[in-house]
Amino acid sequence: MKSKLNLDFKVVESARNHARNIARDMQEFIERHTTVSTERTILRLLGVDGVDDVDNPLPNVVVDQIKDAGALSTGVAYWIGNAVVQTGKDPQTIAEEMSHGKLDVLKLPTCSMEEAADALKPSIKKTFDRIDMQKAKRQEYLDTIGSGPEPFLYVIVATGNIYEDVVQAQAAARQGADIIAVIRTTAQSLLDYVPYGATTEGFGGTYATQENFRIMRKALDEVGEEVGRYIRLCNYSSGMCMPEIAAMGALERLDVMLNDAIYGILFRDINMQRTLVDQFMSRVIIGYCGIIFNSGEDNYLTTDDAVEAAHTVTASQFINEQFAVLANIPEEQMGLGHAFEMDPKTEDGFLLELSQAIMAREIFPKASLKYMPPTKFMTGNIFMGHIQDALFNLVAIWSSQSLLLQGMLTEAIHTPHMHDRYLSIENAQYIFNNCKHIGEEVEFKKDGIIQSRAQEVLGKADALLAEVEEEGLFETIQKGKFGGVKRPFDGGHGLEGVTTRGENYFNPFTKLFMDQDRKSTRLNSSHGS
C-alpha cells in the first residue's frame, strides 16, 4: 500500500520490532505466573457456575480454598480433575460440595496429571461445543441478514437495569446502531468476583454478568432479525476479572470486548503483574471465539495532552498488537484504540487529528480500529458539541475507521436520551453518505502539515518503544510514560492474587484455544465476512 502520509515503513518495522521484543519479554513473566482470576476462568470453562448460600460465586469459593491451602501453584484444573477421578462427580457438583464444606479436594488421594487431564475432557468438550455453536450462529446471521457497512456505528446503553438496557438497545438498533455497548456499573472493574444473575440496579451502567449477557444477546438477535442486519454486542473484559468476563462473553456470543493490556494498570490502579497475566488468558479466549478486542489508548488522551502525547497512543497500539499476536489473535480482531481528543482551539487541529487517524490505518491496515469521539473538551454547549462530533465523523470516514463510538451532543450533561442518540446517528449517516469515497479521492501535500505530523509522531513512537524495550514495560509504567500516570510494580489492587506457577502447573485451555482450527475465528469482522 502506498502511503498517503509518505511514512517510512522502515520506521514502522523498527517500532513493531521494539514492541515485539517488549511483549516477548513480558510473556516470559506471564508464563511463570497465574492469578486467582485466571484460575476462576478455568473453573467457569469447566462448567462451574452459581453462588453459595451467601452469594459468593462458586469459582471464588473453590479457588480461595485451594489458594489458602497454598496449592494454587499446581493449578485448579489438576485438583478438580483429580477430584473427578476420585469421586466420579462432575466439576459443578464438586464445587457445590466444597462450598458446603462436604469435600476437601486437597485431602483426596492423588492421581497422575494425565489421569486428571483425561477426566476433564468431557467438560472441556462441552464448553468447546457451546462456543463453536455460538460462532456458527454468528456466521449464520452474517450469511443471512448480513451487517451494516463500516464504520460500524457503536452506541452505549447505561441505565443500570438490564431490562431497561434492552429497551434502549433495541431502540438504538432501529435508529441505525450496529454495535451496542452495555456500560458496566461504576467500579465493577475493582470487584474481585463476577456478580451472578440478572441485575436491575447499577450506577452509571449495568453489572456485567453472564445472565445479563444472555438477556442482551437474545434481545439484539431479535431486533437484528427485525431490522435485517446483525447487531453486535460489546462489554468490558477488563478489571480484576478480565479473563472470567472474556469466558462469559465467549459462552454468550459477545462480538466486541474492551480488553487492553495496560488500561487497568493506569486508570484503575490494578497491579501490573496481575493485569499482564490476566490479559493473556483473556486474549487467548477472545482470539478463538472471534471476538474483536478494543484496546484503551483513547484513555491516555483524557489524562495527557492529545497533541503532545499522540506518540504514546501509537506506541501503545504497537504493544497491544504484539500482545495480541502472542495470543494468536488475527489482525481483523484487533480493535486498536485511538481518539479525537485535541483541544478545539488548537490551530489546524482537524489536520492533526486526520493525520493521526490515517496513520493508524496505514500502520494497521487490517485491524478493526476503534475510534473514540471527543469527550475531554465537551461542554454544556450542545451546538458546539454537535459540530465537534461532525468533524470526528468526517475524520472517521476519511480514514476508514472500523468501530466508531458515537459522540453525543449532551456528553457533558447527562446520560444520552434516545433522541440525543438519534441526532448523533443521523449526523454520522449524513457525513458517511456524502463523504463515502473522500479517502480515495484526496491526497496530501508533500511535506505539508498532515504528512509532517504523521512522520513526527511515528518517529517519537519508535523512540519511545526503544526506551521501553531497553528498560522494560514495568519500569516504563512506573515512570509514568503512558497517560502521564505512574504505578508501582508491587502496588495497586490485586497483587495478592498473583501466584508463581509450580513445575507441574496445569491449565488445559490455553493450548486448546490457541491450537484449535482457526478457520471461523474471523467471522466477527466485516473484513472477513
- As a whole number of angstroms, the distance between CA 266 and CA 303 comes to 10
The SS3 call for residue 442 is coil
Name which of 328, 325, 338 is nearest 402 in CA terms: 338
Nine-digit cell string for 484: 502521564
Nine-digit cell string for 267: 486508570
Name which of 418, 315, 299 is nearest 370 in CA terms: 299
Our measurement of the distance from residue 510's CA atom to the centroid of its chain's CA atoms, rounded to an integer in Å, reads 18
Q: Where are the beta strands (DSSP E) in 140-294?
A: 152-157, 179-182, 232-236, 256-258, 292-294
Q: Angle at the Cα of 179 (from 173 to 183), degrees rounded to 5?
A: 105
Annotated catalytic residues are 263, 298, 370
Name which of 106, 50, 64 is nearest 82 in CA terms: 106
Show Cβ contacts of residue 41 under 8 Å, excluding neighbours closer than 6 positions.
59, 243, 244, 246, 247, 281, 282, 285, 509
Name which of 333, 307, 303, 310 is nearest 321 in CA terms: 333
Residue 526, amino acid: S
Contact (Cβ atoms closer than 8 angstroms) between residue 153 and residue 177: yes
The SS3 call for residue 274 is helix
Nine-digit cell string for 11: 520506521
Give the chain's count of helices (H) and strands (E). 20, 11
Contact (Cβ atoms closer than 8 angstroms) between residue 248 and residue 41: no
- As a whole number of angstroms, the distance between CA 76 and CA 64 comes to 10
What is the torsional sign of CA 418, 424, 425, 426? positive
Name which of 517, 490, 454 is nearest 12 in CA terms: 454
